[in-house]
A and B are shown apart, each in its own frame.
Chain A
């Protein structure tokens, strides 16, 4: 039974879970249970929309029944929630990662006080991300971006140490700047089109010659969403913010938050609303090339495991943006596929680094070594994630990078293709530093007493590792038709909002 009335539940259920967790904070295990149940529900709902609908079907629901009226020339006056192929693709990724992160957090967060605050903020962040994905209204999207961002500022500061507070402050200032620019862009768009609904906006803008105001909007949106996605000139907050958060939140931030708030919004607005203008394509390609290079080269010199992974995120977002910047169907498919893979392996690697920190108490790779002997599950799963990140053939990351590079060659961007290939070699180098220094080699004496992490944490690691190993199967025609192709079709202009 498919009912488009169920779309608002993607936001409502995590929101209810968040406030119930705040209400039942005295009962020790209730917040944990609520965190897992709410993300499980969202994941099942997104699976339900993938499996039980025709591929590429699109649903819309007008909140409160405020649809279009003849008095306003058929424009939509209220908030319209839209669920199409691209939305459901992102929803499945976000909620899958959120589910396993919340299960991991049940074990990991035992060390912290005030766990109910963690789950409240976690679920608020999830509600915000789901809201960004399902909304078809510009201003509503801004509101959900703010919900997710503000929850993440608080989560980065969750440890309340000096470094965490500094990172959170930096993140809050730059994120607030980004939100301001996005709001300004929404205001200008409303001024020039007279509507906030994305579908109406596209119809008004298509066929007209873009005015100077719209070009200003391009700049504002690219800067604002670039800040949220941590593309290179706007990346300075990420290497501080992502390592400072507790490991489950690092995994959420790097794995899905920058994609839901930055990458998804860029793709949705520039492809779906503006029809992907040529100027934007060039800007995206340049930013992507710089991001890939700077992220990978700086990651080479890091000794803090989570900081290395954070820089690697910047580099990998560059790959995703390269695919989008090429703009051909193959490029977009490569970008979306790499987005999926990056969510899996980066959340896995952040969770694994959290497991290492949980057992050894350090993130410095110089103090580690030989952890494979004591923590075989963490070591093995981290290896799977690392192989996928490095792009070693049978693993999922290889296929997505291959698709992106092939798309670049087909679009005659030879230099970019060569640059992407070169940077993936550098990726291999820094990824092997993790496995070499942390998991292989001699076991340090003072680490002789460490133990493997608890069961729930191991289960999450194993599931995400399986997703990294089997992720390449998404390219199989049967799976692709259901999961990846509808999302690509939305973006290249064959059905959408």
Chain B
């Protein structure tokens, strides 16, 4: 397993992944941005985004995915996502209420830009969940590698 992780999987898997991984990522971004008008949202979209990274990691080995996002990086992005969410909640207090929906309160229902700060909160959640899930994946993989070497 550990050797396979260095080199990645077979040519077939790599080719299919190369074709699909961008679409998966794009779909995740779509789910996040349309979270307030279609099913899904920050959490679901964040999971899909994390899955695209996990897909890369499994198919191409860890060097490719860690070149894009390291474990340290996931920690930073996760904390930033949480702080962004909290900051949006606290900025609402400036307008009177915790979590006040202070942007575009007069939007047309169904339009993309119609829900004030909720899309921004979805983005914050997606950062937190996506980075957090990928970080958990990297941690578990590291533990598995450690156990494989011990055997």
Binding site for A on B (CB under 8 A): 75-76, 78-80, 82-83, 86, 89-90, 92-93, 96-101
The answer to whether the Cβ of A150 comes within 8 Å of any Cβ in the partner chain is no
Within 8 Å CB of B86, what residues of A?
12, 15-16, 19
B109 CB, nearest partner CB in chain A, Å: 17
A15-B92 Cα distance, complex, nearest whole Å: 16
B97 touches A12 (CB 8 A): no
User: Given A5-B96, A12-B86, A16-B86: A22 and B79 within 8 A (CB)?
Assistant: yes
A136 CB, nearest partner CB in chain B, Å: 14
B82 touches A61 (CB 8 A): no
A8 touches B83 (CB 8 A): no
The answer to whether the Cβ of A298 comes within 8 Å of any Cβ in the partner chain is no
Within 8 Å CB of A20, what residues of B?
79, 83
A483 CB, nearest partner CB in chain B, Å: 27
A-B CB contact pairs (8 Å), 30 listed:
A5-B96, A5-B97, A5-B98, A8-B89, A8-B93, A12-B86, A12-B90, A12-B98, A15-B82, A15-B86, A16-B83, A16-B86, A19-B79, A19-B83, A19-B86, A20-B79, A20-B83, A22-B75, A22-B78, A23-B76, A23-B79, A23-B83, A63-B97, A63-B98, A63-B99, A64-B97, A64-B98, A64-B99, A64-B100, A65-B97
User: Given A12-B90, A22-B75, A23-B76: A61 and B97 within 8 A (CB)?
Assistant: yes
Binding site for B on A (CB under 8 A): 5, 8, 12, 15-16, 19-20, 22-23, 25, 61-65
B101 touches A64 (CB 8 A): yes
Within 8 Å CB of B92, what residues of A?
64
Within 8 Å CB of A8, what residues of B?
89, 93, 98
A14-B80 Cα distance, complex, nearest whole Å: 15
- Contacts A5-B97, A8-B89 known; list 9 others, CB within 8 Å: A8-B98, A12-B89, A16-B83, A19-B79, A19-B82, A61-B97, A63-B98, A64-B97, A65-B101
Cross-chain contact of B93 among A5, A15, A22 (Cβ < 8 A): A5
Which applies to chain A's interface (DSSP): helix, strand, loop or mixed?
A: helix
B116 CB, nearest partner CB in chain A, Å: 10
**Chain B residue with the shortest CB-CB distance to A5:** B93
A5-B91 Cα distance, complex, nearest whole Å: 12
Q: Which 8 pairs, one residue from A and one from B, show the smallest C-beta to C-beta distance?
A: A64-B99, A8-B98, A23-B79, A22-B79, A19-B82, A19-B79, A65-B97, A19-B83
B101 CB, nearest partner CB in chain A, Å: 7
**Chain A residue with the shortest CB-CB distance to B76:** A23
A15-B80 Cα distance, complex, nearest whole Å: 12
A491-B96 Cα distance, complex, nearest whole Å: 31
B114 CB, nearest partner CB in chain A, Å: 17
Within 8 Å CB of A22, what residues of B?
75, 78-79
**Chain B residue with the shortest CB-CB distance to A79:** B99
A93 CB, nearest partner CB in chain B, Å: 24
Within 8 Å CB of A63, what residues of B?
97-99
**Chain A residue with the shortest CB-CB distance to B99:** A64
A362-B133 Cα distance, complex, nearest whole Å: 39
A290-B101 Cα distance, complex, nearest whole Å: 51
A23-B83 Cα distance, complex, nearest whole Å: 10
A25-B82 Cα distance, complex, nearest whole Å: 15
A15-B89 Cα distance, complex, nearest whole Å: 12
A496-B97 Cα distance, complex, nearest whole Å: 22
Within 8 Å CB of B78, what residues of A?
22
Within 8 Å CB of B98, what residues of A?
5, 8, 12, 61, 63-64
A19-B85 Cα distance, complex, nearest whole Å: 11
B130 CB, nearest partner CB in chain A, Å: 16
A114 CB, nearest partner CB in chain B, Å: 12
A177 CB, nearest partner CB in chain B, Å: 23
A5-B90 Cα distance, complex, nearest whole Å: 10
**Chain B residue with the shortest CB-CB distance to A24:** B79
Within 8 Å CB of A15, what residues of B?
82, 86
A8-B91 Cα distance, complex, nearest whole Å: 12
A434-B80 Cα distance, complex, nearest whole Å: 47
Counting chain A CB atoms within 10 Å of each CB, which of B97, B98, B101 scores highest?
A: B98
Within 8 Å CB of A62, what residues of B?
97
Counting chain B CB atoms within 10 Å of each CB, which of A5, A19, A22 scores highest?
A: A19
Within 8 Å CB of B83, what residues of A?
16, 19-20, 23
A236-B97 Cα distance, complex, nearest whole Å: 43
Within 8 Å CB of A16, what residues of B?
83, 86
A337-B136 Cα distance, complex, nearest whole Å: 43
Within 8 Å CB of B101, what residues of A?
64-65
B3 CB, nearest partner CB in chain A, Å: 28
A322 CB, nearest partner CB in chain B, Å: 38
**Chain B residue with the shortest CB-CB distance to A21:** B79
**Chain A residue with the shortest CB-CB distance to B97:** A65
Within 8 Å CB of A25, what residues of B?
75
A19-B131 Cα distance, complex, nearest whole Å: 14
**Chain A residue with the shortest CB-CB distance to B89:** A12
A274 CB, nearest partner CB in chain B, Å: 29
**Chain B residue with the shortest CB-CB distance to A18:** B82
Within 8 Å CB of B90, what residues of A?
12
A61-B93 Cα distance, complex, nearest whole Å: 11
A64-B78 Cα distance, complex, nearest whole Å: 24
